[in-house]
Amino acid sequence: MKFEDVILVSVDDHTIEPPNCFGRHMPEKYKGREPRVEQRSGRDVWVFEEQATGYMGLNSVVGRPKEEFGMEPLGYDHMRKGTWDIKSRVDDMNANGVLGSLCFPTFPGFAGQRFQNVADKGVSLAAIQAYNDWHVEEWCNAAPGRFIPLMVIPWWDPQAAAVEINRMAKRGVHALTLSDNPTVHGYPSIHNDHWDPIWKACSDNNVVICCHIGTGAKAVHASDESPIDAWITSMPISIANSAADWLWAPMWKKYPNLKMALSEGGIGWIPYFLERANFTHHHHQAWTNSNFNGMDPSDFFNKHIICCYIEDAFGLQNLDKINVDMVTWECDYPHSDCTWPRSADIFWEQAKHLPDETINKISHLNAMREFSYNPFEILGKENCTVGALRAQATHVSTAPELGMGGAAPKRDPNKPVTSGDINSMFASADAQSAL
């Protein structure tokens, strides 16, 4: 295989919602109460039911030189346009050699958690449905064949969630976003039958449950004096605790067709995780009563759980230790971990030693199968390669944009940026947003 012939589908990117995305889709009953963007203290802030939030920070630094990464973006003028404008997003995908993209929300929270504990459940459900309609009609359908749609659901009412899953599945949506640990947000654990209507609706409609890192079990800041690098290092692997919880949960036996994705979790740690899971089961099942129907925990993991990585050379060297049919690739645009505009190049550097069949699986075929996504029938396979896409993007500048503006915090070059520095920036931003 040649580099130019690679086809890349990313199962983890993000949209910064444009300011007007909810208004056109809220029902008449709730007009005027939709989430909206306001200017507060020189900052673009999302407001919903009088609660303000909107610090994009590291979620929207793509295109900046790395020296300007951090919490600088305060508004849409401080971000690369591809973060929130669909035409510019497709241009940036082409320049990056990326065919398809599944985009998590930003303002609602990666799992839609900001909608879940609003007092008026009627307006909250209306906002969820408005978001889903915008995401399909104005984001995904604006560029047919380029996006894998993703829905948000109401956690507080599993029956209403099942209705929404069925509604969106009929519109071609086969992925939803959910916290990897809902108990963090005050909801029952995934072991509770509270969630059964959701699991059933997902199983019936081939909808993948996408659990993004940071939505439940989070990487821990060891101390305020710890360099922020330590927290960033442990962030993907932090989902391992939740992966164990999901592996031992009951839904796989109830709904054997159900699938989930450990979004942005990486793959290098999984071989040992599976070894440990099997050891635990064989060593302890006599007293813990664990039951995998005569199989190993690794068999359940390999069947039900989709693994996702951005860069993971070690994992790609050890694919024989995991199920290669459930490995998918991610770009993470426009976050700070994103490798745009060299994502295709880095993928190739790490994967070119693999057989063509394996490269095709992890680059696009697994994602297409698991997320019921077929861009070839819309675009033609010959137009979906890295080479063909980049040929469409010769007008797109990928040079770092200096001085995009924003907070421009002062940093001491003689000391590392710490967890305490970042936490104080968040606290300051929250205080300003509330003004």
**What pLDDT is stored for residue 388 in this prediction?**
98
Domain that holds residue 131: 3-434
**What pLDDT is stored for residue 244 in this prediction?**
98
**What pLDDT is stored for residue 413 in this prediction?**
82
Write out pLDDT tens, residues 196-247.
999 999 999 999 999 999 999 888 899 999 999 999 999 888 999 999 999 9
**What pLDDT is stored for residue 435 in this prediction?**
58
What total of structural domains would you count in the chain?
A: 1
Share of the chain above pLDDT 90, in %: 83
Which residues, 6 or more positions from 31, have their beta carbon under 8 angstroms from its beta carbon? 23
Residue segments in the chain with a per-residue pLDDT below the cut of 50: none
> Domain containing 198 — which CATH number?
3.20.20.140
